[in-house]
A = this chain, B = another copy of it.
């Protein structure tokens, strides 16, 4: 059995140390990207993770594979945060806080997605399972917030998703400042509250 192949597809069993290495590389890549931006080199990621360049390329044969894995990891963290919020004491605050968090993440995703798109890859490829999870978490948060009266009862998932998409695109493509994002989002949120 090839351990390497198992690590790359993520479907076959992984040895614990290989998985730890992979996670260490992902965390290092996040740090290096935050510091150096998209000019970050694979060499810098390897140094930061304390592994050889060969280890990086065994886990992520191309820069694009690494970026795709980072995007997936971020989405999974976001879904996990949303799932934790489904038991919050204040369902209204939990709902609006989670929407804000999704849109904050849009800003960081942009540069990675651009590199993937330039390489002719679909940034969303391989994320469909996570997207389904996100949809489920959002539906739960919405329903809880509606029950407490914090969100208008006629708000449905298609419109909620459409609004999230629109504001994400604004943040990503029109490069809104943080202040403009906050004030625009507060107008959108007011439209979601009962009148």
Count of A interface residues, CB-CB < 8 Å: 23
In the complex, the answer to whether A170 meets B165 with C-beta atoms within 8 Å is: yes
**Alpha-carbon distance between A183 and B3 when the two chains are bound, in angstroms:** 50
- When distances are taken between beta carbons in the complex, the residues of chain B under 8 Å from A159 are 180, 183-184, 187
Q: A155 on the interface (CB 8 Å rule)?
A: yes
Number of copies: 2
Q: A158 on the interface (CB 8 Å rule)?
A: yes
Q: A176 on the interface (CB 8 Å rule)?
A: yes
Q: A166 on the interface (CB 8 Å rule)?
A: yes
- When distances are taken between beta carbons in the complex, the residues of chain B under 8 Å from A155 are 187
In the complex, the answer to whether A189 meets B187 with C-beta atoms within 8 Å is: no
Minimum Cβ distance to chain B for residue A87 (Å): 27
**Alpha-carbon distance between A156 and B172 when the two chains are bound, in angstroms:** 21
In the complex, the answer to whether B184 meets A192 with C-beta atoms within 8 Å is: no
The residue in chain B whose Cβ has the minimal distance to the Cβ of A192 is B187
- When distances are taken between beta carbons in the complex, the residues of chain B under 8 Å from A169 are 166, 169-170, 173-174
The residue in chain B whose Cβ has the minimal distance to the Cβ of A170 is B166
Q: A4 on the interface (CB 8 Å rule)?
A: no
**Alpha-carbon distance between A167 and B189 when the two chains are bound, in angstroms:** 15
Q: A191 on the interface (CB 8 Å rule)?
A: yes
In the complex, the answer to whether B165 meets A174 with C-beta atoms within 8 Å is: yes
Q: A47 on the interface (CB 8 Å rule)?
A: no
Selected A-B contacts with CB under 8 Å, 23 pairs: A155-B187, A158-B180, A158-B183, A159-B180, A159-B183, A159-B187, A162-B174, A162-B184, A163-B170, A163-B188, A165-B174, A166-B167, A166-B170, A166-B174, A166-B184, A169-B170, A187-B188, A187-B192, A188-B191, A190-B191, A190-B195, A191-B191, A195-B195
Q: A155-B187, A169-B170 are in contact. List 13 more A-B contacts (CB 8 A).
A: A159-B184, A162-B174, A162-B176, A162-B184, A163-B188, A166-B166, A166-B169, A166-B174, A169-B169, A187-B188, A187-B191, A187-B192, A190-B195
